[in-house]
Structure 1
Amino acid sequence: MITAKNIHKFYGDLEVLKGINLAIKKGEIVAIVGPSGAGKTTLLQLLGTLDKPSNSDTSEIKINHKNVLEFNDKNLSDFRNKHIGFIFQFHQLLPEFTALENVCIPAFIANKSKKEAEKEATELLNFLGLSDRLNHKPNELSGGEQQRVAVARALINHPDVIFADEPSGNLDSTAAKQLHELFFELRKKFNQTFVIVTHNRELADMADRELEMKDGKIIN
């Protein structure tokens, strides 16, 4: 479902990724672990098409058999909107919009009608236990609720994969545990694929597989 071959990334003279190769199957929950500075977030950003390898001409990143490094900017943006979801440590919700409106934004970008987007967003928020929070703005929600809204936003366009960067890093232990369990519920319901960068040992142990990084390489 996802393959990456010979991925290098330089920032100036600093080589952050040193020839990464990996393969992830549909429906897998994969945790990327390792010390700070190992290159985990950089790898996640490349896999999620938010950045490109320094050696794009000799590397390959395929999602559903499509080499995303061959797309132009417009096609890449369209592909990202329709096929990839993101969850970050800080929820990145827009404060002036309600939970429902925040979830609808990617659907509007994908040219779904207001009626269709709101219907799907409502169904997702209901599934995530937020049926009484649809019209609340982010500052009226708890940290766990905000992150569940962010999960709904990531799911609205039925993406092939969700990339999550320390998704529970800003939550207390109870909310973090609920979020971790939610990922597995979503995999069971939607056969959703997750690639998760985390320092949370509990979440990493729950994953189907761990990819351990050190000094810009996958070492297991």
Structure 2
Amino acid sequence: MIQAKNLHKYYDQLHVLKGVDLHIQKGEIVSIVGASGAGKTTLLQILGTLDKPEKDSNMELKINGDNILGLNDKKLSQFRNLNLGFIFQFHQLLPEFTALENVCIPAYIANKPKKETEEEAKRLLEYLGLSHRIHHKPNELSGGEQQRVAVARALINKPAIIFADEPSGNLDTVSAENLHQLFFKLRDEFGQTFVIVTHNEELANMADRKLVMVDGIISE
């Protein structure tokens, strides 16, 4: 599903990623842990096509068989929208839109029909226990509800891979546990692959595989 080879990244003179090799199977839940500054978020952003690694002839990044590094910016944006979903520590919901409207946004960007999109968004929100909150705006929702809306938004285009960066870092203990269980339920029901950067040891240890980043490289 994800094949990465010899990924490097510099920020000015700071060498953040130092030749990362990675292979993640379809349907696998992989956690990435490590101290602050180890390169976890940088790696997640590169795997999620939100950032680019340094150019190197020995470098490779393939997702679902597609050579990501060979795509131009327009094709890369299309690929990201249709194949990848993102969940962040801070839900990044647009405050002026309702839960339903926030969930629909990635599908609208993909030019999917409005009626079909709204039906799918309602189905996802119902699945996530939010059918009674679809017309509420983010400031009318609890932290756990906001994060579940963000999960629904990540799922609306049926992506093959979900990237999550500290997804429960801003939640209370109960909401965090519920979110963690949800990831495994989604994987079991829909077969999605999850790559999760987290400081939460419980979530990290629940994963099929835990990768530890130390000073820009991975140590399993």
Q: Same fold (TM over 0.5)?
A: yes
Cα pair 1:162 1:194 within 8 Å, conserved:
yes
d(CA) in 2 for partners of 1:200, 1:23: 22
Residue 164 (str. 1) matches residue 164 (str. 2): yes
Q: Deviations over 1:122-173 (max 9, x none)?
A: 0000000001000000000000000000000000000010000000000000
- Tell me which residue corresponds to 2:72: 72
Q: Which residue of 1 aligns with 2:133?
A: 133
Give 1:211's aligned residue. 211
Unaligned runs of 5+ in 1: none
Who is 2:63 aligned against?
Answer: 63
Task: Give 1:187's aligned residue.
Answer: 187
Distance across 2 between alignment mates of 1:16 and 1:114: 42
Per the TM alignment, residue 57 of structure 1 is displaced from its structure 2 partner at its CA by 4.2
- Aligned-partner residue type, residue 2 of structure 2: I
Distance 1:94 1:22 in 2: 34
Matches of 1:46 and 1:163, distance apart in 2: 11
Q: How does 1:30-45 map to 2 (within 5 A)?
A: 30-45=30-45
**Which residues of 2 match residues 79-158 of structure 1 at below 5 A?**
79-158=79-158
Unaligned runs of 5+ in 2: none
SS, match of residue 211 in structure 1: strand
8 A contact 1:87–1:165 mirrored in 2: yes
Paired-residue identity, %: 72
Q: Distance in 1 between matches of 2:56 and 2:195?
A: 22
CA distance in 2, matches of 1:26, 1:202: 22
| SS of alignment partner, residue 177 of structure 2 | helix
Once residues 128 and 188 of structure 2 are traced to their aligned partners in structure 1, the CA distance between those partners, rounded to angstroms, is 14
- Cα distance in 2 for partners of 1:155, 1:165 equals 16
* AA in 1 matched with 2:28: E
Distance 2:163 2:126 in 1: 22
1:148 alignment partner, SS class? helix
The count of residues paired between Structure 1 and Structure 2 equals 220
Is 1:186–1:192's contact at 8 Å kept on the other side of the alignment? Answer: yes
- For structure 1, which segment, 181-190 or 56-65, has the greater mean C-alpha deviation from structure 2 after superposition? 56-65
Deviations, residues 48-75 of structure 1 (Å, cap 9, x unaligned): 0001101254311110111111000000
The amino acid of 1:158's aligned partner reads K
Alpha carbons 1:187, 1:193 under 8 Å: kept: yes
Normalised to the residue count of structure 1, the TM-score between the two structures is: 0.99
Q: Counterpart of 2:61 in 1: which secondary structure?
A: strand
Query: Could you tell me which amino acid in structure 2 is paired with residue 81 of structure 1?
Result: N
Other-structure match for 2:51:
51
Give the TM-score normalised by structure 2. Answer: 0.99
1:58 alignment partner, SS class: coil
Q: Which runs of 4+ in 1 moved over 4 A?
A: none
Measured in 2, the distance between the counterparts of 1:67 and 1:7 equals 14
